[in-house]
């Protein structure tokens, strides 16, 4: 008998990751390519179909059969229609009926949610959030996503298509312009893009000395990992960018703990690999920006599953009996 | 047969209000005096006992009998011990075992919660929040309190003794110092105290012209109502203070809607009577500080019960079967 499987997909600002997930929540196969959103919606959409079809073949080779696809996409999405409403980090997908188009292309039912919500489902099931009743999730990538787990469940708010968009909380109304158009969002201080732009701004002012940052900038390979490397080597610009990142994250977390009356946060996403550089400033900032609780009461945890959190969560989405599937026409 | 009644008490930064509440949630009698927190904890505590004893007599005169007292106190409180932990606007009560002392003084069981939570219970039962599943409550008084109603219930978070302390969210890290010690809290921009201090600062700089504000300041009767009156008469300082208030409230509401994925807020408290002066700037500010939703989707409602919201809510607290009562020794 064929084993039932699902595909979990994480469509991020930079990478498009896929996984084959069984009913027990184990990941059997993985795929990863660039999202290539800059090349337009058609290219991203074709990559998405191709990756899913490859995993369908992979499932067959394992004696399994794919039943459905769970899709996590960065930004504001509408699960009922399967459309992306507004995605600051994937503007090419704005308004795109990603779930119906994918369902048609691969002949499988597709369920859509926000990428940070699927991260939350994964970490709650098998990661750092396991056993914690209430927590705030923050996903540090090209942009910043978020989720809220309240009373052990993913919080969905009024069903407006967005929730826990922590990246677009304003932490400093006089702060830098964000990609969403607002000024001073958390994302404009603490995302992978903010790190990269911080280096670019310094270079534009002629304030970038010799070293890994200038080398990578000139080679066109500057990314958050390079800024992390530079900070570990003691580069003062890189260190100041992580200082600002920790400051902004700490202010946002302090504000949200103050309002939600909770004390736990799980921070994941690719840029969480720079943990050693921002956790100190983050803790200091929570301390400086809280009057209702002591920073020693706060539990700031690093996501335990890495990239697998969102992949597993997207798979879990497709296993939910109550999932709102979009079927192929 | 004697009718069962409870006493609901709202201990605010300025006023101490009491009400006799029946099982149906009707208010039968009311009392109101000054909290007199500046005179110390003994004075406030004696006033509290005296007011409750007066209502006990009042109940007897109505053929009723008081069974319990529900107490709403501004700040961080511990319902399990009946202690005030930290109250920025009633510092005299910090650490005071208000519920056990009151229980002893009047010989009745007492249940304690935060004043904004009791506001929320009142508005949810019979006010502007009735029938709305998810909403943020903001209580504008001397300070600013808040509550969260999620899935129709008062949200209590991790049970840390505080929740929805919207007043101590930081809206501008470079903003004015707040009474809690932090810089840039919502309360430092948008409370009754912030309005009053705005006038005092202008006076200290010699920038206060002739008019109602100077008259009231010199007479020692300057309060939020006077600033409201001046704004209605076109006073530019008063108008700028309400502009700042609306700006800060709008930024806080936009941030919280973005994170909670909800669209409704109920604003009450004494200073909500200045609604006509701050609702315009508040709406503009929500618009300017949101990228995930349009201000036209937001429902910003004025509390419908006035002072009765917290009184009714405190009474409802004492009627709850699951209430954690502190009994007289």
Residue linked to tokens 């459905």: A68
Its pTM stands at 0.92
At B87 the pLDDT is 87
Provide the shortest C-alpha distance from residue B20 to chain A (in Å).
Answer: 30
List, for residues A261-276, the tens digit of each pLDDT value.
999 999 999 999 999 9
List, for residues B102-143, the tens digit of each pLDDT value.
999 999 999 999 999 999 999 999 999 999 999 999 999 989
Q: Judge whether A131 is closer than 8 Å to chain B, CB to CB.
A: no
Q: Judge whether A162 is closer than 8 Å to chain B, CB to CB.
A: yes
Contact indicator for A119, A11 with CB cutoff of 8 Å = no
Provide the shortest C-alpha distance from residue B158 to chain A (in Å).
Answer: 5
Contact indicator for B220, B229 with CB cutoff of 8 Å = no
The arithmetic mean of pLDDT across residues B284-299, rounded, is: 94
At A59 the pLDDT is 96
A-B contacts at Cβ under 8 angstroms: 139
Closest to A309 measured CA to CA, from A130, A144, A165: A130
Closest to B214 measured CA to CA, from B224, B231, B202, B225: B202
The arithmetic mean of pLDDT across residues A146-168, rounded, is: 94
CA A227 to CA A231: how far, in whole Å? 6
Residue B89 has pLDDT above 90, yes or no: no
The 3-state DSSP class for residue B63 equals: coil
Largest CA distance in chain A: 65
Residue linked to tokens 């949101």: B290
At A323 the pLDDT is 78
Per-residue pLDDT band at A74 (split at 50, 70, 90): confident
Length of chain A: 329
ipTM of the prediction: 0.92
At A231 the pLDDT is 98
The arithmetic mean of pLDDT across residues A69-93, rounded, is: 91
Q: Judge whether A182 is closer than 8 Å to chain B, CB to CB.
A: yes
List, for residues A164-187, the tens digit of each pLDDT value.
999 999 999 999 999 999 999 999
Host H or E run for residue A251: helix A236-260
Closest in B159, B251, B292 to A173, CB measured: B251
Q: Using CA atoms in the order B178, B182, B186, B187, what is the torsion angle rounded to 10 degrees?
A: -30
At B328 the pLDDT is 86
List, for residues B172-197, the tens digit of each pLDDT value.
999 999 999 999 999 999 999 999 99
Distances (CA, A) of A187 to A160, A171, B131, B211: 21, 9, 35, 46
DSSP letters for A125-150: HHSTTTT-SSEEEEEESSSEEEEEEE
Chain B positions touching A155 (Cβ under 8 A) are 150, 260-261
How large is the angle between the packed helices A275-288 and A224-232, nearest 10 degrees? 80
Pick from B5-14, B226-235, B251-260: least confident: B5-14
């Amino acid at each position: 008998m064929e084993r039932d499987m699902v595909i979990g997909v994480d469509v991020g600002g930079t990478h498009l990751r896929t996984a084959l997930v069984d009913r027990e929540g184990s990941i059997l196969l993985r795929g990863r390519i660039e999202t290539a959103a800059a090349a337009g919606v058609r290219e991203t959409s074709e990559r998405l179909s191709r990756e899913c079809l490859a995993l369908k073949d992979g499932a067959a080779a394992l004696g399994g059969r794919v039943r459905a696809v769970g899709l996590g996409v960065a930004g504001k999405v509408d699960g009922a229609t399967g459309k992306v409403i507004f995605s600051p980090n994937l503007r090419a997908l704005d308004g795109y009926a990603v779930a119906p188009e994918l369902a048609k292309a691969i002949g499988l039912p597709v369920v859509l949610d926000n990428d940070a919500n699927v991260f939350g489902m994964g970490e709650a099931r098998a990661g750092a959030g396991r056993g914690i009743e209430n927590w705030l999730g923050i996903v540090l990538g090209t942009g910043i996503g978020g989720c809220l787990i309240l009373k052990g469940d993913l919080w969905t708010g009024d069903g407006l298509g967005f929730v826990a968009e922590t990246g677009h909380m304003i932490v400093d109304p006089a702060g830098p312009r964000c990609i969403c158009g607002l000024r001073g969002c958390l994302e404009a201080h603490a995302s992978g893009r903010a790190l990269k732009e911080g280096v670019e701004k310094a270079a534009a002012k002629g304030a970038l000395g010799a070293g890994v940052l200038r080398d990578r900038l000139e080679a066109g390979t500057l990314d958050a990992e390079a800024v992390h490397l530079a900070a570990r080597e003691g580069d003062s610009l890189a260190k100041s960018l992580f200082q600002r990142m920790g400051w902004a994250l700490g202010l946002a977390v302090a504000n949200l703990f103050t309002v939600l009356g909770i004390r736990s946060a799980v921070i994941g996403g690719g840029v969480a690999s720079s943990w050693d550089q921002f956790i100190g400033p983050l803790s200091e900032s929570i301390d400086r920006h809280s009057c209702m609780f002591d920073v020693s009461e706060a539990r700031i945890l690093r996501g335990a599953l890495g990239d697998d959190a969102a992949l597993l969560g997207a798979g879990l989405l497709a296993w939910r009996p109550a999932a709102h599937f979009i079927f192929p026409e």
